Amino acid sequence: MLPRINTFIKSSAFFQLARRPLHPIRTLTSTPPNMVKVMAVLYKGGKAAQEEPRLLGTIENKLGISDWLREQGHEFIVTEDKEGPDSVFQKNLPDTEILITTPFHPGYLTADLIEKSPKLRLCVTAGVGSDHVDLNAANKHKITVAEVSGSNVTSVAEHVVMSILLLVRNFTTGHDQAINGKWDVASIARDAYDLEGKVVGTVGCGRIGYRVLQRLQGFDCKELLWFDYNDIPADAAKSINARRVNSLEELVEQCDVITINCPLHEQTRGLFNKELIGKMKKGSWLVNTARGAIVDADAAAEALKSGHLRGYAGDVWNVQPAPADHPWRSMTNPLGAGNGMVPHYSGTTLDAQKRYADGAFDIIKRYLAGEPQNPANVIVENGDYATKAYGKRDGKA
Ligand code: NAD
């Protein structure tokens, strides 16, 4: 049964559900330009990128598209320098036509910066999640925002399952002992549990949320729950044996483990605030690999400190790179554990980098050739949202 459903999910029908274009046929209206300025904001790879050429998402390896762009006569600026008016990013924006940024080291394209970028026509997200662009401002200026949908969703779903397990099983306490010369089984086991018999729920049941529930099938959880304002096909829903709930409150009140898998948009920014976290079960676990700003940083740290949350894990932060004194670096539960944070890397495995580099290249080539984009990749275009995943809008969602 599962292989057939997988094929179905990978074929576009399920993808289109979350990303159905509002107008079936959209073409880029601009004349194919002869020479354009392209800028990529990527993370620094340093020694690792020199030693490992498959680290494509780095300033050193430039998504593997540098030679092609230059052979075609285009200008290609690649930088990690993205903060402040004197950064390479901001200084080059006014005459950039195609901007590529990656969620792992996002060049935050605010409404103000968009106003100062009259030539900008296309923003490409090398990865998934385009919240680093002010999408309403992009619409105002009819800038297309496209991402490589699906490119790293398996990578993230695997990370979610790993994070759930490491929290529930109190892995980090045991690992700390292993590498620090200690051996105190009771102090690990006093807060270690099985995932079997627990209730796990996802906020958002799109590509990642669905895959998380798929991957949890073998753990004999008491129940799997999902909340999403978009539907999923009946046979896809049936194959994961999960129950849909009608509200976020209903979800959080019932779950032992919550995993957040929705985009960051106006309706999800700060969604997990003190009040909502307060409605979660005492001693529950929260995993967020979606976007840091969906969770109120101080509220989560406080809830962990008080023991209301038993654990918090994820790879996304409200500011990236996170400052050295970010509360999520040092927060723990009353037993000094429960922190499963890592830098933002779940969706940038070497396997994922190949997929999102290829996908970004395809988006750019289509634009330069004046061809329409794959609708599944388009977030905003021609002044409107082409996806249903970035919040309910005017009853369209
Ligand atoms: P998707 O578009 O396939 O699914 C997102 C789902 O969230 C949609 O079904 C949508 O309806 C739902 N949703 C939106 N707002 C909601 C809300 N308020 N409540 C409940 N559901 C809501 O996207 P995806 O591929 O599953 O990715 C989801 C997000 O994960 C991305 O937008 C990105 O922010 C994040 N992500 C993180 C990484 C990483 O490396 N950590 C990598 C990829 C994606």
- Say which CATH number the domain at 304 has: 3.40.50.720
Q: Both 320 and 356 in a single domain?
A: no
Residues annotated catalytic, as ranges = 152, 291, 320, 344
Q: Are residues 271 and 312 part of one domain?
A: yes
Pocket of ligand 1 contains residue 378 by CB under 6 Å = no
Residue 214 to residue 221: CA distance in whole angstroms: 12
| pTM score | 0.92
Same domain, 38 and 70: yes
Residue 353 sits in the same domain as residue 284: no
Q: Are residues 326 and 377 in the same domain?
A: no
Helix axes 12-19, 2-10, angle to 10 degrees: 50
Q: Is the pLDDT of residue 171 over 90?
A: yes
Mean pLDDT, rounded, for 325-345 = 98
Distance CA 340, CA 317 (A): 13
Task: Please check whether residue 193 lies inside any domain of the structure.
Answer: yes
Residues 309 and 376 in one domain: no
Half-sphere exposure of 247 (CA within 13 A, CB side): 5
pLDDT digits (tens, 9 = 90+) for 351-386: 999 999 999 999 999 999 999 999 999 999 999 999
Q: What is the DSSP string of 78-103?
A: EES--SSTTSHHHHHGGG-SEEEE-T
Examine the fold and report which residue of 308, 326, 341 is the final residue of a domain before the chain moves on.
341
pLDDT in tens, 176-197: 999 999 999 999 999 999 999 9
**Minimum CA distance residue for ligand 1 atom 40:** 347
- What pLDDT is attached to residue 393? 80
**Residue 390 within any structural domain of the chain:** no
Sign of the alpha-carbon torsion through 229, 233, 234, 240: negative
Q: What is the dihedral of CA 8, 9, 10, 16, to 10 degrees?
A: 110
**Whole-angstrom distance, CA of residue 156 vs CA of residue 215:** 12
What is the end-to-end Cα distance of the chain in Å, rounded?
30
Task: Ligand 1, residue 289: give the atom nearest the CA.
Answer: 41
pLDDT digits (tens, 9 = 90+) for 269-300: 999 999 999 999 999 999 999 999 999 999 99
Rounded to 5 degrees, φ, ψ at 58 are -110, 165
290-313 average pLDDT score: 98
- 38 within a domain of the structure (yes/no): yes
**310 with 162, same domain?**
yes
pLDDT digit string (tens) for 8-53? 344 333 443 333 333 333 334 443 457 999 999 999 999 999 999 9
Q: How many CA atoms lie within 13 A of 100 on its CB side?
A: 32
- Residue 344 annotated in ligand binding: yes
Q: How many A from CA of 179 to the centre of ligand 1?
A: 36
Q: Is 347 in the pocket of ligand 1 (CB under 6 A)?
A: yes
CA of 303 to the centre of ligand 1 (A): 24
pLDDT at 81 (0 to 100): 98
Best residue among 135, 160, 210, 262 to mutate for probing ligand 1's pocket (most ligand atoms within 8 Å of CB) is 262
395 inside domain: no
Question: Is there a single domain that holds both residue 287 and residue 353?
Answer: no
My answer on whether 180 and 309 are in the same domain is yes
Neighbours of 232 (CB within 10 A): 22
Judge if 95 and 172 occupy the same domain.
no
Rounded distance from Cα 153 to ligand 1 centre (Å) = 9
Atom of ligand 1 nearest to the CA of 232: 9
Is residue 177 one of the residues assigned to a domain? yes
The whole-chain average pLDDT of the chain stands at: 92
Please tell me the residue having the least CA distance from ligand 1 atom 19: 228
Specify the ligand 1 atom closest to the Cα of 210: 26
pLDDT of amino acid 30 = 45
Residue 61 has pLDDT above 70, yes or no: yes
pLDDT at position 34:
77
State the burial class of residue 384 (Cβ atoms within 10 Å of its Cβ: 0-12, 13-18, 19+): middle
Co-location of 241 and 114 in the same domain: no
Within-domain flag for 393: no
CB of 12 closer than 6 A to ligand 1? no
* 397 part of a folded domain: no
Which ipTM was obtained for this model?
0.99
- Expressed in angstroms and rounded, the spacing between residue 27 Cα and the centre of ligand 1 is 25
pLDDT given at position 3:
39
Domain of residue 225: give its range. 153-341
Spatial distance between the Cα atoms of 287 and 290, rounded to a whole number of angstroms: 9
Instruction: Output the six-digit token pair for 12.
Output: 């576009």
Q: Is 74 annotated as contributing to ligand binding? A: no
Q: Is 151 in the pocket of ligand 1 (CB under 6 A)?
A: no
Q: Are residues 112 and 192 in the same domain?
A: no
Respond yes or no on whether the N-terminal peptide bond of residue 321 is cis (omega within 30° of 0). yes
Name the phi and psi angles at 353, rounded to 5.
-60, -40
Is residue 56 classed exposed, middle or buried when 0-12, 13-18 and 19+ CB atoms within 10 A define those classes?
buried
**Which of 360, 382, 397, 366 minimizes the C-alpha distance to 151?**
360
CA-closest candidate to residue 127, choices 347, 367, 316: 347
CB-count exposure of residue 274 (10 Å: 0-12, 13-18, 19+) = middle
Residue 389 lies in a domain: no
Give residue 206 CA to ligand 1 midpoint distance, Å. 6
Return the residue whose CA atom lies nearest to atom 25 of ligand 1: 207
The domain tally of the chain equals 2
Condensed to tens digits (0 to 9), the pLDDT of residues 115-157 reads: 999 999 999 999 999 999 999 999 999 999 999 999 999 999 9
